[in-house]
């Protein structure tokens, strides 16, 4: 396939998987420079676009290439300016330096994959993450000696990645070999290794590591071959007293389709969670970030943002960044009035309504079963429990009648629904921690499926 045609086909695939706004922003002025069957070289207009696509959309591009029946082991990026841009290079250098300051989160060490901006010094500690921070710090001081493996879990945007990379950056000071890798990248490595007959080469990348950090380990769910390879890597490092650090959006017992031997390994060390930050911690985060950006934000503005964004540190920082960008563009002083206007859409967006189909989809995804099994007549324990949970949620979240729920779940009798609802409710009332955790995580998933 010719380069131009191949790139247009790749772009068409990418366009199906990301929003139109994202596509227009990052891929509009790109082109394929070279493709030799293994490596892909893409031309982008500037450094910022290069770093963004590399860190945010590398996997999307790989998946698009593979869906076309082609293969790719590595993607490279080059900056290619047009004539008009070349004439304004001197003007743009100043702006680009500012952009690099603002988006320094994308500067990563090529060998370890660690971002130097993530340190213990700029990690805000509060009651919600105290245990995780203490465990992480202990591991950083004595890798391989305490809490091995260290398993940290919590909802998206609460600082897991920051904490994991802080450990890595601290350990690196003692010249130990550290590798940070998102689970999805590990999965891609296994797939490519199997497909290209290079599994031994893939395994060799991890055998001499002192500290292995895997982020979002829940993505190994259901991927049997990847789990097998990770199990061997885990054992080899563990037997050498090398440190293993893992993160997930849920505890090991709640990761579905995970082999029992891996689950037992994950639970064999220290498990620590990160909860939602309290108001005082949210205020501290905002003030610290504003100080890092060298901008004065009035206390009443910080309090307004902190009170309106309660469950996601990333959204908290996003609101602050939006406010700072507005200040730099307009030159206007940051006040409570301008803050309310600038963040109006962000803070006052209506609550997302949940549909019955979203509840069903979230439950089937969480328990790793099919919708046909859920609505069928199987009496297997692994099917009955999710069926009871979905009936409970349809009643509690949407207040549907028992006959309607029965009809929605494969034509079940209303007495079956009543029994299921009562059983789950009783478990929650009796403080069944496993059930409480399942329901909490499913409710979080319902808004994103």
Contact 207, 240 (CB under 8 A): no
- What kind of fold does domain 130-274 have according to CATH? Rossmann fold (3.40.50)
Give residue 106's pLDDT.
52
Res. 89: pLDDT tops 60? no
Contact 219, 248 (CB under 8 A): no
Tokens of 176: 């130990």
- Convert 243-294 into a string of H (helix), E (strand) and C (coil): EEEEEECCCHHHCCCCCHHHHHHHCCCEEEEECCCCHHHHHHHHHHHHHHCC
Superfamily of 3-102 according to CATH = DnaA, N-terminal domain (3.30.300.180)
Give residue 353's pLDDT.
65
Contact 393, 382 (CB under 8 A): no
Positive or negative: CA dihedral 175, 177, 181, 183: negative
Give, as one character, the DSSP assignment of residue 105.
Answer: G
Tokens of 57: 């959309």
Q: How far apart are CA 137 and CA 164, in angstroms?
A: 10
Going along 45-190, which residue ranges are E strands? 74-79, 150-154, 178-182
- Residues contacting residue 49 through CB under 8 Å, at least 6 positions apart: 26, 29, 30
* Segment 131-134 long-range contacts (CB within 8 Å, at least 24 positions apart): 131/272, 131/273, 132/163, 132/272, 132/273, 132/274, 133/163
Contact 218, 249 (CB under 8 A): yes
Check whether domain 356-446 has CATH 3.30.1360.150, yes or no = no
At residue 70 the predicted structure's pLDDT band, cuts being 50, 70 and 90, is confident
* Average pLDDT of the residues of the chain: 85
At residue 86 the predicted structure's pLDDT band, cuts being 50, 70 and 90, is very low
Average pLDDT over residues 356-366: 91
Average pLDDT over residues 396-408: 91
Contact 269, 148 (CB under 8 A): yes
Q: Which residue has the higher pLDDT, 212 or 124?
A: 212
Res. 104: pLDDT tops 60? no
Region(s) of the chain under CATH 3.30.300.180: 3-102
Instruction: Note the pLDDT tens digit of each residue in 182-191.
Output: 998 899 888 8
Region(s) of the chain under CATH 1.10.1750.10: 356-446
Contact 206, 212 (CB under 8 A): yes
Give residue 445's pLDDT.
79
Region(s) of the chain under CATH 3.40.50.300: 130-274
Cα three-residue angle 29-114-255, rounded to 5 degrees:
95
Cα three-residue angle 137-164-59, rounded to 5 degrees:
175
**C-alpha distances in angstroms, 48 versus 28, 83, 327?**
14, 19, 21
Instruction: Note the pLDDT tens digit of each residue in 237-267.
Output: 999 999 999 999 889 988 878 899 999 999 9
Res. 203: pLDDT tops 70? yes
Average pLDDT over residues 282-290: 87
Contact 208, 177 (CB under 8 A): yes
Check whether domain 279-347 has CATH 1.10.10.10, yes or no = no
Res. 38: pLDDT tops 80? no
Give residue 98's pLDDT.
40
Instruction: Note the pLDDT tens digit of each residue in 329-346.
Output: 888 888 999 898 888 877
Region(s) of the chain under CATH 1.10.8.60: 279-347
pLDDT above 70 as % of the chain: 91
Q: How far apart are CA 273 and CA 270, in angstroms?
A: 10
- Residues contacting residue 307 through CB under 8 Å, at least 6 positions apart: 279
């Amino acid at each position: 396939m010719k380069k131009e045609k191949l790139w247009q086909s790749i772009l068409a695939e990418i366009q199906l998987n990301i929003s139109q706004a994202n596509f227009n922003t990052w891929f509009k002025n790109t082109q394929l420079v070279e493709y030799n069957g293994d490596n892909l070289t893409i031309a982008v207009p500037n450094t910022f676009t290069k770093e963004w696509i590399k860190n945010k959309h590398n996997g999307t591009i790989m998946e698009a290439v593979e869906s076309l029946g082609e293969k790719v082991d590595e993607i490279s990026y080059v900056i290619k300016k047009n004539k008009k841009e070349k004439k304004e290079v001197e003007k743009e250098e100043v702006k680009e330096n500012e952009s690099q300051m603002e988006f320094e989160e994308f500067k990563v060490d090529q060998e370890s994959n660690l971002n130097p901006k993530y340190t213990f010094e700029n990690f805000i500690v509060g009651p919600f993450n105290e245990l995780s921070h203490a465990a992480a710090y202990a591991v950083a001081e004595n890798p391989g000696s305490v809490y091995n493996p260290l398993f940290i879990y919590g909802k998206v945007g609460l600082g897991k990645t920051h904490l994991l990379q802080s450990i890595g950056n601290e350990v690196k000071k003692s010249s130990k070999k550290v590798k940070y890798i998102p689970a999805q990248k590990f999965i891609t490595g296994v797939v490519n290794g199997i497909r290209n007959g290079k599994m031994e080469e893939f395994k060799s990348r991890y055998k001499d590591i002192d500290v292995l950090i895997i982020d979002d380990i829940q993505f190994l769910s259901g991927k049997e071959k990847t789990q097998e390879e990770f199990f061997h890597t885990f054992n080899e490092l563990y037997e050498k007293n090398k440190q293993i650090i893992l993160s997930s959006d849920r505890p090991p017992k709640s990761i579905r389709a995970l082999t029992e031997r891996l689950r037992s390994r994950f639970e064999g060390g220290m498990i620590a969670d990160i909860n939602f930050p309290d108001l005082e911690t949210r205020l501290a985060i905002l003030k610290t970030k504003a100080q890092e950006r060298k901008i004065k934000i009035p206390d009443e503005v910080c309090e307004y943002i902190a009170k309106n964004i309660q469950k996601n540190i990333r959204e908290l920082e996003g609101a602050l960044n939006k406010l700072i960008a507005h200040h730099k563009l307009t030159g206007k002083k940051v006040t409570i009035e301008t803050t309310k206007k600038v963040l109006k859409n962000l803070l006052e967006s209506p609550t997302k309504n949940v549909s019955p189909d979203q509840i069903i989809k979230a439950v089937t995804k969480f328990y790793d079963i099919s919708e046909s099994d859920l609505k069928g007549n199987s009496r297997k324990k692994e099917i009955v429990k999710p069926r009871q949970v979905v009936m409970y949620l349809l009643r509690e979240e949407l207040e549907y009648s028992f006959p309607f729920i029965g009809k929605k779940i494969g034509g079940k009798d209303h007495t079956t629904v009543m029994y299921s609802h009562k059983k789950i409710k009783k478990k929650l009332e009796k403080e069944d921690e496993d059930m409480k955790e399942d329901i909490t995580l499913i409710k979080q998933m319902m808004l994103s499926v």
